[in-house]
Chain A
Amino acid sequence: MDRFLSLVGRDLHLAQRHGFDSLLVVVFFIIAVVLFPFGVGPEPNILARIAAGVIWVAALLASMLSLERLFQTDYEDGSLELLLLAPLPLELVVLAKVAAHWLTTGLPLIVAAPLLAVLLNMNGAGFAVLVAALALGTPTLSLVGAVGAGLVLGSRRGGVLLSLLVLPLFIPVLVFGVGAVDGAIGGFAFRSPLLILGGMLLAALALCPWASGAALRQALG
């Protein structure tokens, strides 16, 4: 556990020393959402109708954008090979890196989301559910994305390829994430989509570190 926490701490430390480059992801998130009123017109009713979907899609793209860096720098400077030799199982190494990655990119998205919901004129009933759904959904995105990030290590054109691999796998999170928020706004039951999001998070927590570890092993082997 100490080793796990120290790895999380190392990654957070690195992120901080880089001046929180990862916060640029939030800036991307905000700009991407702000583009929509220009695209579909500033009519408040239309914006309110599509707010949940737009925020979720932008969150999906933003978290995908930051995935490429998850293992890339460690792979290039060789520290990933040392982590492979470390006494900590590789699956836990993956989990630690995903945790640090989510803290630096996923969490800021959740903080920024209510602000964007205000900008898009979203119904007030959806705010709490939006935050809850993002809190359950974005870790799943990071976990699934870690598999893709491991697979594309050392390939040509890693970033574009990563989006092709990962975005189809993100669809269930998007469906239930938007479903929960729209349910809350429409006055329907939003509990079951949230529970399904939680279930997907647990499944991803159990399976993805394993698959990502296998991907890293074959990338380094």
Chain B
Amino acid sequence: MHRFANPTRFMRLSAALLPWTAGAALALIAAGLYLGLFGSPADYQQGESVRIMYVHVPSAWMAMFCYTFMAGASAVGLIWKHPLADLAAKATAPVGACFTLLALITGSLWGKPMWGTWWEWDARMTSVLVLFFLYLGYIALINAFDDPTRGLKAAAILALVGFANVPIIKFSVDWWNTLHQPASVFKAGGPSIDPSMLAPLLLMGVGFTVYFLWVLMLRLRTEIVAAKVRALRLRQVRSGAPATPSGATPLGAKG
């Protein structure tokens, strides 16, 4: 793991991988969308609106996956002081929040014709909404400090506390109210979905995951460059040279 702690090595590796992940993500999502929109039958009960599921379900998976990844990266950052793990957690948060929002919006669009309502205070929807708030809190905490490393550490602790709380929230709202159907892909006895519908679903799932890797690498590269720029500016200020022409001197930042 510490092989990849070296930002220079990461930059080299990610530069090589970026085009491949980008291509794979676009190809998988395009194939999944084609199969989902044209290559699969309409549901006998849900009609054409079942096609929303090919975006909704993978987004919901990614919402959970991103939070798990974020908590894992935060733990690695806190325990081993891995410099890239903290940044990876930070870079994941907005992507995860977007997937969560996408799951909520597509679910709402599907709910209007199916359940007859945009929003239902159902257990699954409520816990995803709370997950969205957890993402927002995390992003807000990272950006709330003048010293960026301070925000990273605080947010890492928050991600872990939130991760411990997610199952509790999930079960509490399950008790509280439920309408959403139970899982139908990952369950004992194999998936209960027809292969013609499962194929686009899984293609989209893998496509979203590769897309996440692509965006994560892109964001991490940006973070590393931003950190370098910050370090250079600080050095410039310390050495007494005139401030950068943009006037954005990091006076508030501590060493």
Contact = CB atoms under 8 A, between A and B. Distances in A.
Interface string B114-138: 0000000000000000100110110
A207 B161 CA distance: 9
A110 B127 CA distance: 28
B82 interface: no
Interface residues of A, number: 27
A156 B157 contact: no
A157 to B, nearest CB: 7
A169 B173 contact: no
Contacts of B158: 147-148, 151, 165
Interface string A117-156: 0000000000000000000000000000001100110111
A161 B172 contact: no
B172 A152 contact: no
Given A147-B161, A214-B157, A218-B157, A161 B175 contact: no
B175 A152 contact: no
Contact of A218 (B134, B154, B164, B175): B154
A171 B130 contact: yes
Given A168-B169, A215-B157, A156 B144 contact: yes
Interface string B67-89: 00000000000100000000000
Interface string A92-134: 0000000000000000000000000000000000000000000
A169 B161 contact: yes
Interface centre among A152, A158, A200 (most CB of B within 10 A): A152
Given A175-B176, A219-B154, A164 B137 contact: yes
A200 B168 CA distance: 9
A72 B162 CA distance: 23
Contacts of B45: none
A106 to B, nearest CB: 20
A155 B141 CA distance: 8
> By DSSP majority rule, is chain A's interface helix, strand, loop, or mixed?
helix
A207 B164 CA distance: 10
> By DSSP majority rule, is chain B's interface helix, strand, loop, or mixed?
helix
Contact of A169 (B140, B150, B162, B175): B162
A85 to B, nearest CB: 20
Contacts of B145: 154-156
A211 interface: yes
Interface in A142-196: 147-148, 151-152, 154-158, 161, 164-165, 167-169, 171-172, 175-176, 179
B153 interface: yes
B141 A168 contact: no
Given A151-B158, A156-B144, A218-B154, A168 B164 contact: no
A214 B155 CA distance: 12
B144 A168 contact: no
Given A147-B161, A211-B161, A219-B154, A172 B168 contact: yes
B160 A164 contact: no
Interface of B: 78, 130, 133-134, 136-137, 140-141, 144-146, 150-151, 153-154, 157-158, 160-162, 164-165, 168-169, 172-173, 175-176
Interface of A: 147-148, 151-152, 154-158, 161, 164-165, 167-169, 171-172, 175-176, 179, 200, 207, 211, 214-215, 218-219
20 contacts: A147-B157, A147-B158, A148-B158, A156-B144, A156-B145, A156-B146, A161-B141, A164-B137, A165-B140, A165-B158, A168-B133, A168-B134, A169-B165, A172-B168, A175-B172, A211-B160, A214-B78, A214-B157, A215-B157, A219-B154
7 A-B pairs with least C-beta separation: A155-B144, A172-B172, A218-B153, A175-B172, A168-B133, A165-B137, A164-B137
Given A155-B141, A211-B157, 9 more contacts: A147-B157, A147-B161, A151-B157, A152-B154, A161-B137, A171-B172, A172-B168, A175-B175, A215-B157
